[in-house]
Amino acid sequence: MNKTKVAILGAGFITDIHMESYHRFIPEADVVACYARKPEKAKAFAEKYHIAQWFDDIDKLLAESGCEVVDICLPNYLHAEATIKAAKAGKHVIIEKPLAVTLEEADEMIAVCKANNVKMMYAEELCFAPKYERARHLVKEGAVGEIYMLKQGEKHSGPHSDWFYDINFSGGGVIMDMGCHALGWFRWMLGNAKPKSVYASMSTVLHKGRTKGEDNSVIIVEFENGVTAVAENSWAKHGGMDDRCEIHGLGGVIYADLFMGNAAVTYSRDGYGYAMEKSDTTKGWSFTIFEEAFNQGYPHELKHFIDCVQNNKTPLVTGEDGRAVLELIYAAYASAGAGKKIELPFSAKIDKPVNLWLGNK
């Protein structure tokens, strides 16, 4: 088999999920190198996954690893720099959400990838999650008639890594972390229909001492085709990950739950090992997740991206899609800051989206 050589950047939670996906489900890919900013983390990650080369310098990795694809799983504020370097080195790019911190960064990333004739593949896994995809195909078959409302929510008690809570690194709070999933999924479900307005409400309710960013939010997007979409996102929900959607049509309704619907409902008096993402205890009743990475769509997403590189296909989800999501994020922060609906298209000159809500604090 002709394997595509991949270098993975990062050594955190999402990088572990990508590596599980490559190892278990994508024999077409060979992860030949990894990068972390701290050499001890890079070395430990390489040893954990039996990766031949590790680097603490991206330029050196691009020059020496022999990779064809760079899979970027770094903090938000590093996305643009890593993408631009990879593209200029002639490497195809897989980029985790959100695409970038600012629209200016997003535009430059897209332009540089095009100029260097490399693929830019935006890793929105909800476009590949098996249960969500089954629901989307039901809609295409006419199962629920004409769609008039979509809802999607992703909630847990807070991120794994400290950088998420620092708005200078993340660009914002839960919307930058998880709201981007809902906004991307809305566009995917509606065939990239044009949004016409955004209204949002957000607050910091649980992590006030840890972040200036929002940890609880509701976003309402109105599309030109008449569909209303509601995104509910929270870092304040206890008991583990909650990820579900609703599709409301004139002829029916679909409910899809990514986690609890794929779990073994368990009672344990003394507790046990791992139940599900962000679950802080396994004592008492819990939902023991089965095939977590698979159910969320990561293997399907990455397998598709490798296929695009090997067979010169256009990715289903691109940098332009990530840029469109970032514009909706801007509008959501601006709406919460102004207390009114924001019409699209929308742009603003800011150094991070959350400032549209907070002001330049």
Chain segment 298-329, per-residue pLDDT in tens: 999 999 999 999 999 999 999 999 999 999 99
The three-state secondary structure class of 217 is strand
Would strands 216-223 and 228-234 be described as parallel, antiparallel, or unpaired? antiparallel
Residue 121 in contact with residue 94, Cβ under 8 Å?
A: yes
Burial class (CB in 10 A: 0-12, 13-18, 19+), 197: middle
Q: In what order do the strands lie in the sheet with 195-203?
A: 252-257, 242-249, 147-155, 228-234, 216-223, 195-203, 342-343
Count other Cβ atoms within 10 Å, centred on residue 264: 10
Return the structure tokens found at 10. 């990062």
Predicted pLDDT of residue 276: 87
Query: With pLDDT > 90 as the criterion, what percentage of the chain qualifies?
Result: 91
pLDDT band for position 360 (cuts 50, 70, 90): low
Residue 6 in contact with residue 67, Cβ under 8 Å?
A: yes
Tens digits of residue pLDDT in 46-82: 999 999 999 999 999 999 999 999 999 999 999 999 9
Predicted pLDDT of residue 325: 98
- Contacts of residue 265, defined as CB under 8 A and 6 or more positions apart, other chains included, come to 285, 286, 287, 288
Distance of CA 314 to the CA centre of its chain: 20
Stretch 204-232: mean pLDDT, rounded? 98
| Element (DSSP H or E) covering residue 184 | helix 180-189
DSSP state of 175: I
Predicted pLDDT of residue 90: 98
Residue 257: which of 359, 126, 67 has the closest Cα? 126
pLDDT band for position 265 (cuts 50, 70, 90): confident
Stretch 201-226: mean pLDDT, rounded? 98
What does the angle CA 55 – CA 59 – CA 60 come to, to the nearest 5 degrees?
45
Predicted pLDDT of residue 257: 93
Please name the amino acid found at residue 188.
Answer: W
- Contacts of residue 339, defined as CB under 8 A and 6 or more positions apart, other chains included, come to none
Stretch 195-212: mean pLDDT, rounded? 98
